[in-house]
Chains A and B, each alone.
Chain A
Amino acid sequence: MNSIEIKNLSLNFGDVKVLKDLNLTIEKGEFLVLLGASGCGKSTLLNCIAGLLDVTDGQIFINEQNVTWLEPAQRGIGMVFQSYALYPQMTVEGNLSFSLKNAKLAKDEINRRVKNASEILQIEDLLKRKPAALSGGQRQRVAIGRALVRDVDVFLFDEPLSNLDAKLRTELRVEIKRLHQKLNNTMIYVTHDQIEAMTLANRIAIMRDGLVLQLDDPKNIYNFPINKYVAEFIGSPGMNFLQGKINNKDNVSFQIDDTLFELDGYNFQTIVEDKRPVWLGVRPENIVVNDGNKSMPVNFDVVVEVIEPMGADTLVWSHFNGHEFRFTVDGNKVINIGEKINLGFDPLHISIFDFESEDRL
């Protein structure tokens, strides 16, 4: 059963078209992450689903019901904001129970729900405090609790962890994941942070300029980016790109200047003609340093220029045929600047994009 279905959604602010004919289907119990550069319309999409913005065109269904023109409170959603948006003059308990009181629920029921939510989020000790007396992480828990008590089917998160420091972010991230496993309701989560996206999501939607470019599970997005933008956006350090053309003479290979990389094993989506200009993308972590036994199908030499040790592994910067080229090696390996190194990769793990359209080939 579909939990949320968005059909041909458009939204304009005056002349600015923010969302353009967007379609999206989210299954029940799914954790969908919206990922994209700043200003691509993630918050706008979320606000449309929540009913905080009136859509220009299109329809939104939640649990098979057309909610396009319903008030936010009637849509069965809860939302958590980046700035927490707690009511500052009410205690934590007041914040949690305010909407329930307003909906005229019975006292026992309110108490039961507040107790339940505060147990799940481990904020029982904070119930009598005001938001000003809480840390950022605690505030965000309360904000999640405010959505939790309302017993909704869909949770919307708009960059909920962006205001927290790195350590807390990791902790709360795990907690949100646990919450999702426990409640098993639909969650839509907006973030800038790739790690958050990769770790939390069942599926990731990569957005750009009001459109969903790719909607897939994290693994596929990482391994088979649908175009060069997605490939650049996902992964840190970013993918290396080499510009060249296809050489289709005997077997398909990639030609950059005079060098030929055999592409045996790469799954082309289409038949690619000879001399077609393309980008070859390969992730730094898919590069292997050959020490003696040449095992990789494709091999080439580079000169080490800069070394960035990052603990578990070391990032090495170099150039290949005029293109910047990064690769990671094991953190314990000794590497010297100026050293010539032989690298290799498996065509199975690369991506080829058309030069013009930048789509995956």
Chain B
Amino acid sequence: MANLQIANARKSYDNKQVLHGIDLHIEDGTFLVIVGPSGCGKSTLLRMIAGLEDITDGTISIDDEVVNDLEPSARGCAMVFQNYALYPHMSVEQNIGYPLKIAGVSKPERARKVAEAAALLELGDYLDRRPAQLSGGQRQRVAMGRAIVREPRLFLFDEPLSNLDAKLRVQMRIEIKRLHRRLSATSVFVTHDQVEAMTLADKLVVMNAGKVEQVGTPGEIYRAPASAFVAGFLGAPAMNFLPGKVLQQGNLHILPNTEIAVHSQELHQWTGREITIGIRPESLLLGKPSAEGIPAHVDLIEELGGSRVAYCRTDGPEIAVVMHGDLTVREGDRVSIGLLPEHLHFFEKTNGQRLGGGQASQQAQASRAMHVAFN
């Protein structure tokens, strides 16, 4: 187990910079998840930690030791690859035992440790098989076994679940979580799947285009996204964004033709300016057409089993609303979308940065304060 410190890490390929100064601190035993869209540089960052990719600039330290120039093997990291990267010519037992063999562990000791890892991962019956004779989930477990058997300081996962079918993915996700609780090893887990990210992370890092957008617990980030990008990336269905304008006395004009009272101190300094208003589909309410709320008509209803999502046409952008309970709304109905001021998120129109605190972010600050107090 170890802590990991990344300071101003940069990466360029042929003068094209793909990581623009990443700063991260990961405490001992934390399960850190890096989430972001495809191509944002998650794998590159992970591979730089692993030592598979050179660090163009900045430093990466494990346990306060700079590892920039260390070989992968000297860094004490174990990695689980997206395609598992199991040695096709070795049995499950040999695959799991390979790092130990290389480390010169004696045969009986090796067999004992492999058996231990295999038992933990329920692979005991498959030790003699080759990877080609295993199912996707079993291969995934073998890859994990190979990682845990050498008791690394740091676990690195590069989208390890994305080659599995939906059901197995959920199952393996839970197993990984359980495994982490049991081993409490510092882990860095990369994914583009927001559900995976939210459910697994102790600490979540949202990346975009080679930069860190936000770091925090999944709850903090969900409640107070630091930018419109983060807000739109996490949560399904995605957050609605509406253009708006700040009026006198903290009133808000939602374009084109809705006005609500917000009474937000933070908005005062933005009086007269245009902003972006974000609101999650589950924070909206559908009601009978009325003067309150945003007038709309229901274009399409998506049935999700537990809930339904209504996609509504307004005079502005389309708005998605999660419908609760047994609301009897049909496609084509005229409705009014009601919103509560405390559920609104405000972003700068130009760069998407979050404006002021808002209730959600006060909570976040409170929890951060508690974190400090506990330490």
Q: Do A and B bind?
A: no
Residues in chain B within 8 A of chain A (CB atoms): none
Residues in chain A within 8 A of chain B (CB atoms): none
